[in-house]
Structure formats: structure tokens, C-alpha cells
Amino acid sequence: MIRNDVLHWFILGFGLEFPDDRHLGRSTNITQLWLSAKEKCFDCEVLDALHTLRREHAELKRYEYEAAGEWFEPVSFETIRNIPEWTDFFMTSYFNIIVESEGRVHYQRLSEQLRRELPPPEPLRRSIGFVP
């Protein structure tokens, strides 16, 4: 499995960790996501993985406050994916990861593939007696 697939698996799983809310998803910021990813896969290119995440798998959305109208405007990552400043979407505020139905299926497939490819964990060994 390639690293980008592992990161997509992680991002989808991260979005699914909270109770299911098809409209809001899981709110996070890039720092929180990166720190969580770093625990699992060490050197991660989280921004690149977010950029290559398919829209059918997850929607990335943030809510911007419109001061004049005093309401929140949803902004989808899809509207800025192809502009040079696409990283600003993640750097300037919180965003939501909304995992779609196809993303849930993809997450399950990747989970099964990871289980097949990763070696089983070694059993914990406990020493008997006291160690000086």
C-alpha cells in the first residue's frame, strides 16, 4: 500500500471517529490533524493527502463568518482546489471532514488491505520475578 493510501485511510478514519453527522462532519484544524497523523505514520504529508482526497470519499468544508450579514457561509474545498493558494483553505481556520458513503466503503477496503499487509503485533511478554 502506498503512503498516500495510508494517509487517506487515516483522514477518513479521523473523520469517522466522531458521531455520524452527515451535514457537519468532524471539525479540525491542520495542526490537530497533523499531530494525530504523526502519531500513526510519523512523517506525513497531510496537506498533499487532503489535496488528493477524492470528493466522492469526503467533503472538506469550512464555515466563514460574514460580519456584515452575521451568518456563516459554507465554503467547500472543491471551489479552490485548483488555485495556487489552495493551502490557505487549511491554514487559516478550522475545517470539517464529512465522510461520504463511498468514503466509508473505501475506508473499509483500505482497513482490510492494511490488516493483510501489516505483520501481526507481537504478544506482550511479562518477566516473572523481580528485576534488580
- Tens digit of pLDDT at every position of the chain (132 positions): 688 898 999 999 999 987 666 678 899 999 999 999 888 766 678 999 999 999 999 999 998 877 666 667 889 999 999 999 999 999 988 999 999 999 999 999 999 998 888 766 666 666 565 555
The whole-number pLDDT of residue 88 equals: 94
- SS3 string, 61-106, reads EEEEEECCCCEEEEEEHHHCCCCCCCCHHHHCCCEEEEECHHHHHH
Spatial distance between the Cα atoms of 49 and 45, rounded to a whole number of angstroms: 6
Spatial distance between the Cα atoms of 16 and 60, rounded to a whole number of angstroms: 13
**Cα 31 from chain centroid (whole Å):** 12
pTM: 0.81
The whole-number pLDDT of residue 81 equals: 94
